Amino acid sequence: MYSGLIHAHSGFRWIVLVLLLITIINAFGKRNGAKPWTVQDQKLALYTFISTHIQLLFGLILYFISPKVQFAGAAMKDKILRFFTVEHSLLMLIAIALITIGYLKAKKAPEGKKAKTIFTYFLIALILIIIRIPWPFMGVGGNWF
């Protein structure tokens, strides 16, 4: 189960990243309110929102079963344990919270402000996600897929 979840969580990052990127580019083109924000645009944002919540679910389960999550004081001195126990998990939680707030705010926002709201919140979330994904070159034991 552990190994299957890691593969799912690791591979699913690409779906999250691609959806986030497409949603941000789409919202960027409409952010000045000149072009209408359509039902399809809101649906695209919804699929992105859902993908991050699926990733959250995988991540939360991993948080309880991964040997890389430890709470002993000494764990904070270990680069890999600190990364997964605190840095990765906390930043991803903040990013997913921003996506949730942005999505809900955009739903309620007036027509001309929806794209800008999605653009701003999703872009900040994407930056946080990119800087704290365990990329292979970071030396914390992550893979590309």
**Which residues lie near ligand HEM (CB under 6 A)?**
6, 9-10, 13, 16, 52, 55-56, 59-60, 62-63, 66, 68-69, 84, 88-89, 92-93, 129, 133-134, 142-143
In the complex, the smallest distance separating the C-beta of residue 112 from ligand HEM, rounded to whole angstroms, is 29
Distance CA(19)–CA(84), nearest Å, equals: 24
Distance CA(36)–CA(20), nearest Å, equals: 20
Q: Largest Cα–Cα distance in the chain?
A: 55
In the complex, the smallest distance separating the C-beta of residue 6 from ligand HEM, rounded to whole angstroms, is 5
Which alpha helices (H) appear in the chain, and where do they start and end? 2-30, 39-65, 79-82, 89-108, 114-132
In the complex, the smallest distance separating the C-beta of residue 29 from ligand HEM, rounded to whole angstroms, is 24
Tally of CA atoms within 13 A in the half-sphere of 110 that contains its CB:
3
For residues 51 and 16, is the Cβ–Cβ distance under 8 A? yes
The residue (of 91 and 109) whose beta carbon lies closer to ligand HEM is: 91
The residue (of 36 and 101) whose beta carbon lies closer to ligand HEM is: 101
The residue (of 2 and 35) whose beta carbon lies closer to ligand HEM is: 2
The residue (of 30 and 95) whose beta carbon lies closer to ligand HEM is: 95
In the complex, the smallest distance separating the C-beta of residue 133 from ligand HEM, rounded to whole angstroms, is 5
Q: Residue 73 has which token pair?
A: 């004081």
